[in-house]
């Protein structure tokens, strides 16, 4: 249980275009999802907390107009990288909090974004 | 802010035990986790421990928590080549808003 599906796994886009990444909770409802960015051989950096039905909470230094987050349902959060530039190339991972008899955080398989 | 530190690299021989260490600065940690990340993949939850516990064992994995020294460790018994990956400790601490704070990650290499 508590599986998160993230798509696409890899995407290559041209500079100036926008890319949408989806994060779905498959067998549970996730009121809170998290978006991380990971640089090569580095730890995960939290970008924002996505709350169903309300605005996302962004971490300091993360441009909310650049990284648009939408959490319109209890099973889907999306991250859109707008007007992508090569420096946006990175590994993006989503996570969802699951609750029940046990609770914790489960992660998607990540999206490798390359902007050319 | 909270700092969570790990040694960058660990190399062990197949069949030996691996011990991955993690130190943190905030004493108000409530839950502490260990995650495994294989190349190009997301994070897999391995185990977790509540802050009111000292030890937790789950098959080949043993987690030890020393709250006084703010030190967390993960011991992997009978380490296999399939255990080669990056291991992250992560914690939730009071005042952190239910957000995970990750350690810097330890690259475990298992050699034959």
- Measure the CA–CA gap between B80 and B13, rounded to whole angstroms: 8
pLDDT tens sequence across B35-72: 999 988 899 999 999 989 999 999 999 999 999 999 99
Average pLDDT over residues B21-36: 89
Instruction: Please state the separation of Cα B37 from the chain's center in Å.
Output: 11
- Measure the CA–CA gap between A75 and A31, rounded to whole angstroms: 8
Q: Is A44:A93 a contact under the CB 8 Å cutoff?
A: yes
Residues of B in Cβ contact (< 8 Å) with A104: 31, 33, 45, 48
| Cα separations in angstroms, B89 against A114, B3, B6, B65 | 28, 11, 8, 12
pLDDT confidence of B96, banded at 50, 70, 90? low
- Measure the CA–CA gap between A23 and A74, rounded to whole angstroms: 11
Contact A43 B97 (CB under 8 A): no
pLDDT confidence of B99, banded at 50, 70, 90? confident
- Measure the CA–CA gap between B97 and B83, rounded to whole angstroms: 32
What sign results for the dihedral spanned by CA atoms B47, B20, B40, A57? positive
Residues of B in Cβ contact (< 8 Å) with A95: 43, 100
Checking DSSP bridges between strand A10-13 and strand A111-115, what pairing results, if any?
parallel
Q: End-to-end alpha-carbon separation of chain A, Å?
A: 37
Contact B97 A49 (CB under 8 A): yes
Average pLDDT over residues B85-92: 94
Does B27 score more than 80 pLDDT? no
- Measure the CA–CA gap between B65 and B48, rounded to whole angstroms: 11
pLDDT confidence of A68, banded at 50, 70, 90? very high
Q: What pLDDT was estimated at residue A109?
A: 94
Q: What pLDDT was estimated at residue A52?
A: 87
Q: Is B59:B19 a contact under the CB 8 Å cutoff?
A: no
Q: Is A67:A78 a contact under the CB 8 Å cutoff?
A: no
Q: Which residues pair with B45 in a beta bridge?
A: B35
pLDDT confidence of B1, banded at 50, 70, 90? low
| Cα separations in angstroms, B43 against A6, A92, B46 | 12, 12, 9
Residues of B in Cβ contact (< 8 Å) with A97: 98
Strand, coil or helix: B32 = strand
Does B83 score more than 90 pLDDT? yes
């Amino acid at each position: 249980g508590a599986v998160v599906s993230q798509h696409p796994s890899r995407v290559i886009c041209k500079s100036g275009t926008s890319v949408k990444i989806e994060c779905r909770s498959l067998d549970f409802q996730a009121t809170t999802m998290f978006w991380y960015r990971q640089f090569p051989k580095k730890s995960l950096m939290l970008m924002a907390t996505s709350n169903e039905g309300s605005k996302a909470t962004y971490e300091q230094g993360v441009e909310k107009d650049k990284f648009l987050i939408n959490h319109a349902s209890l099973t889907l959060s999306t991250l859109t990288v707008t007007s992508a530039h090569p420096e946006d190339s990175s590994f993006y991972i989503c996570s969802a909090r699951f609750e029940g008899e046990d609770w914790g955080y489960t992660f998607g398989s990540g999206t490798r974004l390359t902007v050319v | 802010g909270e700092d969570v530190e790990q040694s960058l690299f660990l190399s062990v021989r197949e069949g030996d035990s691996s011990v991955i260490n993690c130190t943190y600065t905030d004493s108000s940690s409530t839950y502490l986790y260990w995650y495994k990340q294989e190349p190009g993949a997301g994070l897999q939850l391995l185990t977790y421990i509540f802050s009111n516990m000292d030890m937790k064992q789950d098959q080949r994995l043993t987690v030890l928590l020393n709250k006084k020294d703010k030190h967390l460790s993960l011991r992997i018994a009978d380490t296999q080549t399939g255990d080669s990956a990056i291991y992250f400790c992560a914690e939730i601490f009071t005042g952190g808003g239910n957000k995970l704070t990750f350690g810097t990650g330890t690259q475990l290499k298992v050699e034959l």
